Structure 1
Amino acid sequence: MAAKTIKFNAGKVQYDEETKRCTPLPFKGVVSIKPNADEEEFYDFTWTPKSNTTRSLDKDELLIIPGDVSFKQVQSCKTGRVFALTFLSSGAKNLYWLQDIGDDDELDKLTEKDKSLVKSVEELITPKDDDDEIKEEEPIELKEEPKDNPSFPLHSISDLLTPQLVEQHLDSLTPDQIQSLYGPHLPPTSSVSKHDVLQVVRSGFFQQTANKLSEQLRESRGVGYLLAQAFHYDYNGEGIDDFLNGIRRVAKDD
């Protein structure tokens, strides 16, 4: 079924990190969510101020990857219907308030139109069932992976790099080692914990990126050669197995 475009009237909300207060900006705008022109599984999220807005405001132009975002009502806001678009991989939040007419007595109460809108957005940002089918196969293949060189063909990098295996690895490290190894690769924060790393590995963004790279490696587009140059290991061919074996050699040398 062809993906649809969603549009709705919404304003921006300014969030103060120090006071933790949300301040809806008094300007009209419209949100548009439509399929990305280059990646059919991704979506372009755009907030645009309406033409009659007197103040100059920047557009919001965001890329949505199903599984990496949530769209939830901010329950603590009682003066309007405010929603947070949260990116799970980075923790970034963008807040918007719905501008269509609501309930005058209960300002935070969702209308039937609001509920239908939220349902439509959730359907777009939820990963497709085929990704879930791949995840269900992971425990079976993990049991067959005690060797340095797998003898079975890997369908995807995520078949091997499962959250269970990553968690076992993290359990073998001290908090300082986790911070040293993974801190530079995650969004800036005071400290990086095992939970932070697992949240990234379990995110839809990580899984879809791993599956996309796996697809390119399987199709032998020269991606394996480029990765060998980037990670400085000897190129031995295309494919997922050759890429993983190259990464293993780099890790052992380090």
Structure 2
Amino acid sequence: MRYGWWQKLKNYYIAKRSQQTGTHPDRMAQHLVEQAPPIIPSDQPLHTPVMVFDLETTGLNTRTDTVLSIGAVKIQPEGIPLGAGFYQVLDIAVDLQGESQLIHGLTQKDLAQGCDPRQALLDFFLYAQDHIWLVFHAEFDRRMLKNAALQHLGLIVDPQPLDIAQIAPLLFPEHDHAHAGLDHWLEVFQLPMLARHNALADALAAAELLMILIHRAQEQGFQSWGEIQTACSKQRQLKRLLGT
């Protein structure tokens, strides 16, 4: 199942507002987004190809910060095809702050040698087409990717990726706690972490975790990504009711 009329309507709306905002839709990008959006989980079986991505940003404010790099890997039925990942640093004019640099490790020189943001986003959408999208802490990356697409392409792109940070406690509740991040889950399953806060390395680590989660989901009788999505939603509602 792919995006329908509502995606086209939103892009039409943003195009109509471009004269006021100064943000003009990129027609090539618009065509790409309409023709090759991510697969909606729905009743897609667990062996459907998935893509795990990660963004490095200037900070954690989804209103004022911006995307610096994009990393992604794919999981096929036979596993993760090493050497076929995606990684781009964006060439953007931004003054990196010392505190954020300590986290993502990118420098002004790295940005200057990076890829044109428009091309980087187009390449990412091409890489990710025909896959279900997942990311650890999906809401943050969803908003930041949406901001980047609007800023650099003039389009509203809102893929709604599944959240690995919600799937993990659903399937392994015995290892869950209130502030369980990616490092926690990597430690639980003794997964190696080569370089934290590098977009590609984080995407690969999250993908390795996801492979364990997919196996666990199959053991527990889940047959589709839609079933997992529904179960995660019910779990969130229960946690809110219990105040946990």
TM class by shorter-chain length? under 0.3
Greater strand content: 1
Report which structure shows greater RCO (CA 8 Å, sep ≥6): 2
TM-score w.r.t. the length of structure 1 is 0.23
Greater helix content: 2
TM-score w.r.t. the length of structure 2 is 0.24
Greater radius of gyration (CA): 1
